[in-house]
Structure 1
Amino acid sequence: MNPEAFNLFGIPIRWYGILISCGMILGILLASYTCKVKNISYDMMMDIILIALPSAIVGARLYYVLFNLDYYGKYPAEIINIRQGGLAIHGGVLFALLAGFLYARKKKIKFLSYADAAAPSIILAQAVGRWGNFFNQEAHGGEVSYEFIKRFPEFIQKGMNINGIYYHPTFLYESLWNLLVSFILIMLIKRVKKDGTIFFTYVGLYSIGRFFIEGLRTDSLMLGPIRVAQLVSITGVVISLLYIYFAYFRKKNIL
């Protein structure tokens, strides 16, 4: 599997960056539709995106580095080298949301309305970006037999054959789950009016899928014996359920 797509003036351009960029572009295009459904300003959404995207990249890298301090403490120059991967989606989403929230406060606009419109785009971008892991041959699961992997298309079989051993294509599982969640959110956004519902549904559904898929991976960020992504996923499900409870089942809506 060649992680390099082509060379541009002697600079290797990697599939990882191309696919993440494609995911972002598709997400921006989808946001033009979701903004219309939510009846909010697409121009304002673009302003938020221009602030959130660089924040997301910085956050994704810092999150990854934080849980790999033993390595990056020895090789600090590698902290800024993201060409071969090393971006953690949870850190990216958290930093992007924080940037978006602060900007929304400054502009005095409804943050949850824009978060709802952005949610289907965010998870669509995640679905596309996961294929960058495929070309880098990273973020895969444990060893599997040929009898198992032969059920997948031949190019998946080849990509998941690393040094003669086949591995779970967990990038594919998460990509397909994310596509399904994006479709669900697009359907819901046309029917649900309460601000925040789409965003917190995204948080809950993504977290459920990530929890189970993370259990198959061999490269999880760890906090002692605990997989960090699973811990964050549990937190995400709890937050999502709390939103549903207070927004729909409590007479006094505190959100």
Structure 2
Amino acid sequence: MMQFLAQFNPDPVFFKAGPITLYWYGLILVAAMIGGIMSVLSLGKRYGLPVDRIFDIAFWLIVWGIVGARFYHVFLEYDYYINQPIAIFKLWQGGLAIHGAILAGIGALILLARKYRLDFWQMASILAVGLSLGQAIGRWGNYFNQELFGYPTTLPWAIAIEPKNRPLEFAMNKTFHPVFLYESIGCLVIFLFLSYFHRRFMREKRADYKIIFLIYLGMYAILRFFTESMRVDPAHEILGLRFPQVVSLIIVVPIAFVMLKRIYKKSRQS
């Protein structure tokens, strides 16, 4: 398996017949959505929530999440898209920024939770489980597009990158860190961690949905901060940090404050 990754150059096209072209990126994105929705529906049913409402919310969050993810990416790559506006709609080529999806999703969930009279934090904590699983699956779309890779390496799990997709400064290197894989594994760990917390709350018949959602945001922000440090694709920088790293820090700092305050409060009570 390891040697296969280092030698195999994936084709982004899954199927082509005449004018019809199916891309791996799109298929994996659909698989990620299905996996995420199924996990959300399963967890929601265990909490006794109406399935039709959960499905409606999940559907609209996916729609707004994709819109937010795309426009956030376009914002970061403004210099390119201002000259290639039609490329904004070419989703099969990649370019979905998860920070944008989360921001748009939170905004949409606030409105939807109010509309359906559901607990925002409960829904956010349940949806975080589906989102983390969807991210774990969806990152494999980056593999077939030969993007989201890191610095050159000869480690056994390195992936081969075609010359046309390599940065100029690494044109002579053949294998690179599979950053997409690191993030996929990290998101899978987050998914398992959040699922454990939900099971524990059900067993103990108590719930702290806000903490579960904040744990998701904090864990993913930390994961993203470190995976970003390994990437070689160009990105806007602030004080030597890539822009997504700065966003991750903005997310982590207040969450760390809330968690420390909570721990301090509990220690005082005991």
Structure 2-normalised TM-score?
Answer: 0.83
State yes or no: 1:244 paired with 2:244.
Answer: no
Aligned to 1:200: 214
> Per-residue CA shift, 1:94-137, capped at 9, x if unaligned?
11121111111223221111111111110100010000000000
Q: What does residue 231 of structure 2 align with?
A: 217
Segments of 5+ residues of structure 1 without an aligned counterpart are: none
More deviation, 56-65/192-201: 192-201
Measured after TM superposition, the shift of residue 27 of structure 1 is: 0.9
> Percent identity over the alignment?
35
Q: CA RMSD in A?
A: 1.9
- Matched-pair contact (CA < 8 Å) for 1:40–1:114: no
Is 1:73 paired with 2:87? Answer: no
Distance 2:105 2:33 in 1: 13
Q: 2: CA distance between counterparts of 1:100 and 1:220? A: 32
What does 1:1-255 align with in structure 2 at a 5 Å threshold? 1-7=10-16, 10-145=19-154, 148=155, 151-152=156-157, 157=158, 159-163=159-163, 165-192=174-201, 193-219=207-233, 221-224=235-238, 225-245=240-260, 249-250=264-265
Contact 2:57 2:109 in 1 (8 A): yes
Query: Aligned in 2, Cα 1:212/1:76: closer, same or farther, shift over 3 Å?
Result: same
Whole-Å separation in 1 of the counterparts to 2:83 and 2:74: 12
Contact 2:146 2:161 in 1 (8 A): no
Distance 2:41 2:141 in 1: 25
Pairwise CA distance, 1:34: 1.4
Distance apart, 1:31 and its partner CA:
1.1
1:40 Cα deviation after fit: 2.5
Tell me: CA distance 1:220–1:194, structure 2 relative to 1, closer, same or farther (3 Å). Answer: farther
**Distance in structure 2 (CA, Å) of the matches to 1:55 and 1:8:** 31
Query: Partner of 1:7: helix, strand, or coil?
Result: strand
